Amino acid sequence: MAKNVSTSITRRDVVAGMAVAAAPGVLADANNAHAQAEQKTKPENQTKSDKSLYDRLGGVFAIAAVVDHFSDAVVKNPIVGQKSKNPQLREWHTKNLQRLPGLKFMRTLWVCNVSGGPFQFTATRPGATPLGLEEAHRNLKISPAEFDEVAAELGRTLDFAKVPKREKAEVLAAFAAHKDEVTAGYAAGAKRG
């Protein structure tokens, strides 16, 4: 049976999310309150393994906090950030930082979507796949090694956020599944080179 879920975001939701992201200690309290509320409405026979990755990660606010930390870490990362040898990545992380809040929002939607949450990601530059990652990354010419460094940064962020081993592995696997899309611009450039 289909479940009706609201995917609209109100100003109250945005303010609450900003408050959670600004106060890391609040995240644990918010997650505990969320878990208690979920427990009251959860069917008796539903177990932790029945929950979606989205729910096991703690929902949109927990995901947004991880994306916020991860995005800032990528900007500072010496291999893929502001000091990258890749001129396209270096330029993006120095001259386009005014777009970082929007990118964090889009990354949050993407993770929520991929992890089974109620929010739907729609690519700003649609590509061949439903998530459209190849076109969003094509001009950055991200190499497989650079992709792997971003994945390593994601792993470090998940450790920082104390994401359990099972959920960390699932997030990293979902990320790795899009390597060919994200590195398509590099691969196309290598074929011409």
Q: Residues 21-45: pLDDT tens digits?
A: 333 333 334 344 444 444 444 444 4
Instruction: Quote the domain boundaries for residue 162.
Output: 11-192
6, part of any domain: no
Give the whole-number percent of the chain exceeding pLDDT 70: 67
Is the pTM for the entire model greater than 0.85?
Answer: no
- In this prediction, residue 160 carries a pLDDT of 97
Residue 114 sits in a domain whose CATH number is: 1.10.490.10
Number of domains in the chain: 1
1, part of any domain: no
d(CA 117, CA 160): 22
4, part of any domain: no
41, part of any domain: yes
3, part of any domain: no
Cβ contacts of residue 33 below 8 Å, gap of 6+? Answer: none
What pLDDT digit, counting tens, does each position of 43-75 carry? Answer: 444 455 689 999 999 999 999 999 999 999 999
Per the model's pLDDT, the better-predicted residue between 120 and 22 turns out to be: 120
85, part of any domain: yes
122, part of any domain: yes
177, part of any domain: yes
